[in-house]
Each structure stands twice: as structure tokens, then as C-alpha cells.
Amino acid sequence: MKYSWLEILKAGFKQNQSWQPTWPTKDPAAAYDVVIVGGGGHGLASAYYLARDFPGKKIAVLEKGWIGGGNTGRNTTIVRSNYLWDEAANLYEHSLKLWEGLTADINFNVMFSQRGVYNLGHTLQDMRDIERRVNANVLNGIDAEVVDAAELKRRIPIMDTSKNTRYPVMGSSFQARAGVARHDAVAWGFARAAAKHGVDIIQNCEVKAMDISAGKIKGLDTSRGYIAASQVGCVTAGHSSVLAAMAGLRLPIESHPLQAFVSEPMKQVLNTVVMSNAVHGYISQSDKGDLVIGAGIDPYLSYSQRGSPHVVDHTAAAILELFPIFSRTRVNRQWGGIVDTTPDACPIISPTKIQGLYFNCGWGTGGFKATPGSGHVFAHTIGEDKQHPLAEPFHLDRFNTGALIDEHGAAGVAH
């Protein structure tokens, strides 16, 4: 039978009408035991693990826009755990292990694809750093290997590993269990799983002020009225300093735009993820076929989710130097997110001096990979009112004691 376009369109809309919402739309209640501010992946994962592991608590997630509309829905989805220092490696590896069972755990296909991640080296010093990091990873039980330029060429034939480039590729680290996932599915999957455990997911609800008295959090003023809460977890990425200021706190965080762009879709030609901090670009190919490309932060501070054209230009040049095959590829879309960078390129997972008020932020350019792990340890921190052992080193106190964990070398993009 032949259908007109109009009939197909009408049938499509009709079918839509019978779809069930993935999670119920809720109005805010007058009071909760725990309110999570921020409906990105980390906030939703925190709410899910809290509801699952600490049953009986009345929990809400408040999101000023829509679920996953912040960095969670804007990132390039690279997941890996090859960090240098034990504290960070243990936290990210905890997360990677959760990724490996996540689709089954939350019963939502997050399309986690362990296609491996290469971090390229272009100088002798890069290669020494790579060897050091690979050795540290192996000692921590994390899969990692050093790959030389000839082997890279064998594995990724479209990459230019010749000596003719500005910064010839000398080798790489490789983590085989690393890969990519579907970012929206992570937000939706955690939202649905949390809602099934009784969490109220409340969108279009902006926190405007905090009600604090006698050193304790009492509730929040929001765009949808006052909400009482005895515990509040702020998981607001690039806006964490804004939330902290509402409580009279100052966080060691800078907010920067971080951009990415995707090409038109094409036949599959790249079955892994390649990153280079030296030429400054990274690339993967999505299951749809588009090239997903990004680079470093825009250097200035901003809350704008856009970014400057020269960063895109620089990134495209870096990628073309590595992959001349893409020189005629057209770019389809470009966007930015607001990332929350800390002085040591490590997150803050911490209680504060205000009783019942906690922050989970500072993931900067690399928090997508940490989404399940971060939610899991933050849920424990709130549920037990005691740091999870894996979160202990990421306490705010480290900026007073000086016990920083410098992970700039392992950050996916320079900042």
C-alpha cells in the first residue's frame, strides 16, 4: 500500500500520543529529606543510588531547565579511567566498573561501547609521561599499554603517523576498556531508574536562594516556591560557584566554555577514540557516522554556552593534521557547555561547614566518564553523612591543607 507524506506524518503523531512518559512529571512537594540541585547525569545518578541504597528517604531532583540539558547533553562522551594518581584512578575505575554493568542495572540501554581510547604522544617528554602513566595504571589494576607509531599505523591506517607533520606522532597510550556512551540515554536512564525508586524529578525549577539558620540548611527558595529540605546536594557543574555564593561559600572553581562539533554523517572509518593534547584535538565517530570532535577550553571565564570561532578553527586544523582524509568533511553543528575547573583538575565531592549542605562539582572537562561513580559515592556521602572512602581525597579541605591531586596530565583536554 502507498501512503502520502501527510498520512505518514499523521500516523507518526498519532503513535506519539500513545507513548508513555519515561518518568512522571511532578510538582514540588512542600518538604523533602534530600534535595539534589541539578538534573544532569551526576545529580540524577546521585538521586538514583540514594533512593536505591537508602530506602525510605523522600528525595527530589530540581533542574532549572530540562534533564540533561547542561554538560551531560553537550559532551563528547569519552569514558576512561587512565588517571595518574591512585586517588583519581581508583575513583574513575570505580566508575568504569559501574559503566560496565550500567545498562543492565538501570534497565536502559546507555550504549556503552568499549572501543578503546588512544592518548597520543608527540615528543620524547610526552612518551615518558605516557610510560609513567601506563605503569601507574597497571599497578592500580587498570588496563593500559604503550603503543608505538608503527603499531598505531597498523591499528588506525587513516592516521598520519609520518614524520612530515608539524608534530609527528611518536606513540600512544591505549586503554582497551575505555570508549564512548550515549549521553542523553545516561540522563534519561538514571531519571527513569530514580523515579521508579520514588524520586520526584522536577524540571523548570530553578534554585534562587538558600534558607540557612544556625549553621544548618533548612530549605530552598525556587522559581516554583519554597521547598524545605534537611539535606541538599548541589550538583550544578558550571554554576556551582553561583549555588555556593547563595550559602555564603566560595569555591576554588572557574567556569569556562568548552566547545565541540560534529560533522555530517559518513561511512564508518574510525572504530576507536583518538586524543592528542599536543596538537590539541580529539575525535571519535558516533554510531550514526558523524565525527565527534573537540579540544581545549575557551581560556576566558564565561557562563555562555557558545565559545569563540578561533578555538574551532584550531581544533579542526589539529584533527586534519592527524587525519587528512577528513579535509573535505562538512561540519554540521557546533556548541558549547560551561565546565567547572579546579586548580588540580580533580573534582570536589564534599560536605561543607553548613550542616546538611554538600557539593559535587569541579569535574571540569572530564566528568561524563565519572557519572555513575560520582553519583554512587555522593549518595553514600549524603546517605551516611560521612565521606565515601573513595571520595575522601576530594574533600574541599584539600585546598586548605595543600593535599592537591594534580591530574592536569591526564585531563582529556588542556586547561
Q: Is the dihedral of CA 143, 75, 329, 289 positive or negative?
A: positive
Q: Is 121 one of the binding residues for ligand FAD (CB under 6 A)?
A: no
- 103-111, 135-143, 162-170, 254-262 -> range binding ligand FAD (CB under 6 A): 254-262
Residues forming the site for ligand PYC (CB under 6 A): 76, 78, 80, 282, 294, 365-366, 412-413
- 31-39, 103-111, 143-151, 263-271 -> range binding ligand FAD (CB under 6 A): 31-39
In the complex, the smallest distance separating the C-beta of residue 7 from ligand FAD, rounded to whole angstroms, is 38
Q: Is 368 one of the binding residues for ligand FAD (CB under 6 A)?
A: yes
Following CA atoms 85, 88, 89, 90 in sequence, which dihedral angle do they give, to the nearest 10 degrees?
120
Q: Which is nearer to ligand FAD, 62 or 156 (CB)?
A: 62
What secondary structure does DSSP assign to 184-245, as a single string? HHHHHHHHHHHHHTT-EEE-S--EEEEEEETTEEEEEEETTEEEEEEEEEE--GGGHHHHHH
Q: Is 377 one of the binding residues for ligand FAD (CB under 6 A)?
A: no
**CA-angle at 120, arms to 114 and 121, nearest 5°:** 150
In the complex, the smallest distance separating the C-beta of residue 309 from ligand FAD, rounded to whole angstroms, is 15
Residues 135-194 contacting ligand FAD, CB under 6 A: none
Q: Are 316 and 286 in contact (CB under 8 A)?
A: no
In the complex, the smallest distance separating the C-beta of residue 195 from ligand PYC, rounded to whole angstroms, is 29
**CA-wise closest residue to 120 among 82, 143, 146:** 146
Q: Which is nearer to ligand FAD, 63 or 127 (CB)?
A: 63
Task: Give the whole-angstrom CA distance, residue 351 versus residue 360.
Answer: 9
Following CA atoms 238, 242, 247, 253 in sequence, which dihedral angle do they give, to the nearest 10 degrees?
50
Residues 50-69 contacting ligand FAD, CB under 6 A: 62-65, 69
In the complex, the smallest distance separating the C-beta of residue 336 from ligand PYC, rounded to whole angstroms, is 12
Please name the residue that has the C-alpha cell 507524506. 5
List residues near ligand FAD by CB under 6 A.
37-43, 62-65, 69-72, 74-78, 206-207, 235-237, 239, 243, 258-260, 294, 337, 339, 363, 365-369, 412
